[in-house]
Copies of this chain bind each other. A is one copy, B any other.
Amino acid sequence: MVGRLDPDRLFPTDEKTRATARALYETVKDLPIISPHGHTDPRWYAENEAFPDPAQLFITPDHYVFRMLCSQGHSLESLGVPRADGGQTETDGRKIWRIFAENSHLFRATPSRMWLDHAFEEIFGWTELVNTKNADASYDHIAECLTQPDFRPRALFDRFNIEAIATTESPLDDLKWHRMIRESDWNGKVVTAYRPDAVVDPEFDGFAENIEKLGHMAGENATSWRGYLEAHRNRRAYFKDFGATSSDHGHPTARTENLSDKTADDLFQKALKGSCTPEEADAFRGHMLTEMAKMSLEDGLVLQIHPGSYRNHSGPVMTAFGRDKGFDIPTRTDYVRALKPMLDVVGMDPKLSIILFTLDETAYARELAPLAGVYPALKLGPAWWFYDSPEGMRRFREMTTETAGFYNTVGFNDDTRAFCSIPARHDVARRVDCAYLATLIATGRLAEDEAHEVAHDLSYRLAKQAYRL
């Protein structure tokens, strides 16, 4: 098989710097994958069933792929995305695949194209550009692979050389798939992470019922402020039993608060009655970040903050198809005033690890690198959103390294629900980091022996250490 993947892809273009990047990359390309934050389905690893068909694997569940087709007028129905009302949508994987194949030009120079090409070639051995002419042949080829044992989730997990992967679950999840993995004879390391949106956001659907359920699961009266906090402590401990080393928080803004117990309790009671104003709901969410940080100091979970996404932007699409349909749009996000209340409480404690993410790149050089470059509790997460974006990754390093250095960052996250993209995404990150390091060497800003150490740290060690995996 002669593939189309350029072995020197993403390296600098001048020959000498390219050779340096290649040498650095050679030493890290085969390191195991640490995937400390992501959204793969633990059920895959628990049941180890075959993936149904190429469209179900690559297109219909991946809003980064179907959003591009949607942007050029292909209806979500035609791409098999389920309707909220259970109405008719395409179920024939082959027909969905054809739309994708006929529109492969839309993905030119996008990260999706880069990881899809990588997956087709490296995982499935399909080396042609998927297009109109080979739509059926490529579909058949991949479908045939999927019937084989080597393409089941655990086999792929091992083949991908994943040392550890985290999924993300709600405190209301009983973690039955994680239990099933643990009780199986398979040794893959799959841990959960604590994502409490449903029980810390007063504006979340069914907040009061969720709190009721939380209390029930935790064996606490979660409708009192003290009991509510205790229930969180209880569920966090339960999650830790299933390997969790982190919590994850996806608020609309980076706002934090440090309210008095009395004020927090008042807001909580209002939230239970559904009578918070938007401002009060925002204050409550902000205060809960500080509470979570304080619990992290007790139980050692790493606190991840992912602010700034305007979720489900299209009203009509939200009504027809529900959440997470590619209409999450980044917004401008401010960190300096927003984080101060929490940082005044816990920011100087080096035992705590708060990992900040952003969708607003303008905050990197201006706010995030200066904050992470001085507060012991703060670290910078990798370039979020399109984690597989080479330009975004490069800008991330150029905008943060000078002020925060490498050691206030935490290596790479893939943050994906697209299982087959994981090796490609980590490969892209390693290449971009090696390219960046090679440029530093070529411009006299870093010694070669130091760059080799940094390459290893960025590819493997920092993620393992920051997430305590």
- Assess the A366–B332 pair: CB atoms within 8 A: yes
Indicate the member of A316, A332, A359 with the most B CB atoms within 10 Å.
Answer: A332
Q: Which residues from B are CB-within-8-Å of A386? A: 402-403
**Is A123 part of the binding interface, using a Cβ–Cβ cutoff of 8 Å?**
no
**Is A227 part of the binding interface, using a Cβ–Cβ cutoff of 8 Å?**
no
Q: Which residues from B are CB-within-8-Å of A111? A: 402
Per the 8 Å Cβ criterion, residues 357-392 of A in contact with B are: 359-362, 365-367, 370-376, 378, 386, 389-392
Q: Which residues from B are CB-within-8-Å of A316? A: 344, 347-348
The contact string, 1 if C-beta is below 8 Å from chain B, for chain A 425-452, is 0000000000000011011111100100
Closest to A358 in B: B366
- Assess the B440–A13 pair: CB atoms within 8 A: no
Q: Which residues from B are CB-within-8-Å of A399? A: 391
Per the 8 Å Cβ criterion, residues 310-330 of A in contact with B are: 310, 313-317, 326-330
Closest to A436 in B: B109
Q: Which residues from B are CB-within-8-Å of A440? A: 109
Closest CB of chain B to A24's CB: distance in Å? 14
**Is A46 part of the binding interface, using a Cβ–Cβ cutoff of 8 Å?**
no
Per the 8 Å Cβ criterion, residues 104-160 of A in contact with B are: 105-111, 114, 129
Closest to A16 in B: B13
- Assess the A454–B13 pair: CB atoms within 8 A: no
Closest to A374 in B: B67
Choose from B314, B347, B376, B439 the contact partner of A343 (Cβ within 8 Å): B314
Instruction: Report the stretch among A2-10, A204-212, A264-272 that lies at the interface.
Output: A2-10
Closest to A364 in B: B361
Alpha-carbon separation in the docked complex, A314 to B442 (Å): 38
Closest to A104 in B: B450
- Assess the B110–A405 pair: CB atoms within 8 A: yes
Choose from B15, B73, B373, B442 the contact partner of A68 (Cβ within 8 Å): B373
The contact string, 1 if C-beta is below 8 Å from chain B, for chain A 162-183, is 0000000000000000000000
Q: Which residues from B are CB-within-8-Å of A375? A: 71, 314
Closest CB of chain B to A79's CB: distance in Å? 13
**Is A99 part of the binding interface, using a Cβ–Cβ cutoff of 8 Å?**
no
**Is A337 part of the binding interface, using a Cβ–Cβ cutoff of 8 Å?**
yes
Choose from B330, B389, B404 the contact partner of A71 (Cβ within 8 Å): B404
Q: Which residues from B are CB-within-8-Å of A331? A: 334, 336-337, 366-367
The contact string, 1 if C-beta is below 8 Å from chain B, for chain A 384-421, is 00100111100000110111111110000000000000
The contact string, 1 if C-beta is below 8 Å from chain B, for chain A 37-76, is 0000000000000000000000000000001101111000
- Assess the B71–A11 pair: CB atoms within 8 A: no
Alpha-carbon separation in the docked complex, A196 to B376 (Å): 34
Q: Which residues from B are CB-within-8-Å of A274? A: none
Q: Which residues from B are CB-within-8-Å of A444? A: 5-6, 8-10
- Assess the B367–A330 pair: CB atoms within 8 A: yes
**Is A213 part of the binding interface, using a Cβ–Cβ cutoff of 8 Å?**
no
- Assess the B14–A72 pair: CB atoms within 8 A: no
Alpha-carbon separation in the docked complex, A12 to B439 (Å): 10
Closest CB of chain B to A87's CB: distance in Å? 16
Q: Which residues from B are CB-within-8-Å of A189? A: none
Closest CB of chain B to A426's CB: distance in Å? 17
Indicate the member of A13, A348, A389, A404 with the most B CB atoms within 10 Å.
Answer: A13
Alpha-carbon separation in the docked complex, A446 to B5 (Å): 10
Between A and B, 6 residue pairs with Cβ closer than 8 Å are A4-B447, A109-B402, A330-B336, A330-B367, A332-B334, A365-B392
Instruction: Please name 6 further chain A to chain B contacts, defined as beta carbons within 8 Å, in addition to the given A105-B453, A390-B443, sorted by A numbering.
Output: A68-B405, A109-B440, A111-B402, A315-B344, A316-B348, A389-B403
